[in-house]
């Protein structure tokens, strides 16, 4: 059977592409309009993405065995859980830019397309670096542990609102485009003609004119918001990619697990937005998982260097990941002392 550079037969790659591509098409077709996604709708579509992921896991189990399927499920669950903290950041970004609920799905769509592209680049680089030797795993372990420590250190600072107008991504967009300070439908960019029309309709024309200068294209708050989200996700990938690589070194397993998890993040966002005040210990679960992943990477590296024969298996990793998630949810239900009234 012909094997691709990803380490799997071409049939497996084709199934992955068709399954993920078909699911994306269905999702985009059903959410092509600007509308608020209800909690019920978000739950249904989250279940849809979970089922798609399970189908691919079953395919891996049938054609490549229980170990491969277990690695995929573990990577998928880990990426899903680690993404929760990133989604909380995205909520803060949407709030600062005052993006209406009915436009958020569109911004998340383009943000996730960017995440898919950058994850592919980082997975390629990360798995290639591992070929340099076990000391790279130690570096990855330090990166993941440092992230956990920083999350622990700043755990009480979530109520502080960051000024995203000073964000690097915001300033980068402002360097290339003039800024139009108001939303214009779901447009990311406006032409000079469109801006002239908006100026002719504006009540406080002088204020708006002072905030803009003539240019071919103008960036709307949607583009600025998308840029900040995209760069924030790239920074998040520096932590999550080493974490998933700790589960498996197979590029297809790592990338497919991350991609299926990422594709379900748009609907997961709306679930978390509705329930975030009740899931108060989820971030603590993420911190615990990051320390666990750092330990797993360190053990793998030391085993390769000193050959003491001890490492954490894929099955054990899966149970630990799911167990920590369940404990975080149960703790939120049983001890909701952080919920603000």
Q: Rounded to whole angstroms, what are the CA distances from 287 to 10, 143, 154, 284, 313? A: 37, 13, 11, 5, 21
Q: Say which residue, 156 or 229, is predicted with more confidence.
A: 229
Q: Which stretches of the chain are DSSP H helices?
A: 10-30, 39-64, 66-97, 101-129, 135-153, 168-176, 192-201, 205-211, 221-245, 251-263, 265-275, 282-306, 314-334
Find which of 36-40, 206-210, 312-316 is predicted with most confidence, using mean pLDDT: 36-40
Give tens-digit pLDDT for 218-262: 999 999 999 999 998 888 887 788 888 877 778 888 888 888 888
| All structural domains of the chain with their residue ranges | 10-158+237-334
The DSSP annotation for 200-258 comes to HH-TTHHHHHHH----SEEE-HHHHHHHHHHHHHHHHHHHHHHHHHTT---HHHHHHHH
- Which pLDDT score is estimated for 227? 94
Q: What is the pLDDT of residue 341?
A: 41
Q: Which value, to the nearest 10 degrees, does the dihedral of the CA atoms of residues 296, 150, 127, 264 take?
A: 100
Model confidence at 158: pLDDT above 60: no
- Give Cβ neighbours of residue 95 (< 8 Å, ≥ 6 apart): 161
Nearest Cα to 226, choosing from 110, 72, 55, 130?
110
The predicted pLDDT at position 225 comes to: 95
Residue 339 confidence (pLDDT): 47
pLDDT(335) > 50: yes
- The CA distance from 227 to 238, in Å, is 17
pLDDT in tens, 43-91: 998 898 899 999 999 999 998 888 888 889 988 988 888 888 788 889 8
pLDDT at 340: 46
Nearest to 285 by CA among 328, 245, 333: 328
| Range with lowest mean pLDDT among 133-137, 158-162, 287-291 | 158-162
- Helix-helix angle 221-245:282-306, to 10 degrees: 40
Chain-wide mean pLDDT for the chain?
A: 82
Nearest to 28 by CA among 18, 20, 38: 20
CA distance 150 to 157: 11
Share of the chain above pLDDT 90, in %: 11
Q: 62 or 282, which is more confident? A: 62
Q: Would you say 212 and 218 are in contact if contact means Cβ atoms under 8 Å apart?
A: yes
Lowest mean pLDDT segment, chosen from 34-38, 99-103, 184-188, 256-260:
34-38
CB within 8 A of 108, min separation 6: which ones?
A: 90, 229, 265, 266, 269
- Find the mean pLDDT for residues 270-298: 85
For residues 149-175, average pLDDT: 76
At 18-49, the pLDDT tens digits run: 988 888 788 777 777 777 788 888 899 889 88
Instruction: Please determine, for residue 205, whether its predicted confidence score (pLDDT) is greater than 70.
Output: no
State pLDDT tens for residues 105-155: 889 888 888 888 888 888 888 878 877 878 888 888 888 888 888 877 765
Rg (CA), the chain: 22
Per-residue confidence (pLDDT) for residue 309, from 0 to 100: 65
pTM beyond cutoff 0.85 = no
What value does the mean pLDDT take over residues 262-271? 86
How far, in Å, CA of 203 to CA of 182, rounded?
A: 13
């Amino acid at each position: 059977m012909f094997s691709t550079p990803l380490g799997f037969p071409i049939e497996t790659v084709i199934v992955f592409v068709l399954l993920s591509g078909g699911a994306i098409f269905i999702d985009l077709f059903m959410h092509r309009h600007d509308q608020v996604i209800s909690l019920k709708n978000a739950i249904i579509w989250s279940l849809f993405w979970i089922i798609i992921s399970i189908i691919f896991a079953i395919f891996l189990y049938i054609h490549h065995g229980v170990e491969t399927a277990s690695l995929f499920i573990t990577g998928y669950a880990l990426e899903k859980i680690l993404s929760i903290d990133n989604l909380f950041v995205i909520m803060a970004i949407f709030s600062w830019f005052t993006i209406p609920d009915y436009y958020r799905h569109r911004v998340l769509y383009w943000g996730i397309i960017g995440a898919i592209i950058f994850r592919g680049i980082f997975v390629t680089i990360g798995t290639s670096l591992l070929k340099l030797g076990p000391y790279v795993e130690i570096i990855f372990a330090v990166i993941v542990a440092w992230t956990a420590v920083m999350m622990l250190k700043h755990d009480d600072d979530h109520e502080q609102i960051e000024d995203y107008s000073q964000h690097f991504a915001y300033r980068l967009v402002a360097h290339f485009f003039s800024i139009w300070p108001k939303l214009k439908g779901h447009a990311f960019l406006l032409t000079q003609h469109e801006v002239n029309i908006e100026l002719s309709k504006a009540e406080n024309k002088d204020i708006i004119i002072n905030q803009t200068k003539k240019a071919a294209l103008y960036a709307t708050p949607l583009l600025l918001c998308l840029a900040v989200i995209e760069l924030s996700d790239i920074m998040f990938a520096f932590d999550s990619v080493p974490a998933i690589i700790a589960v498996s070194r197979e590029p297809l397993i790592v990338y497919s697990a991350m991609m299926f998890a990422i594709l379900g993040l748009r609907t997961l966002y709306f679930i978390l937005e509705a329930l975030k005040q009740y899931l108060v210990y989820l971030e603590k679960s993420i911190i615990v998982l990051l320390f666990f992943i750092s330990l797993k990477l360190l053990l793998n590296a030391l085993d390769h260097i000193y050959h003491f024969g001890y490492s954490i298996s894929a099955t054990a990793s899966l149970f630990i990941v799911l167990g920590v998630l369940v404990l975080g949810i149960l703790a939120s239900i049983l001890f909701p002392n952080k919920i603000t009234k």
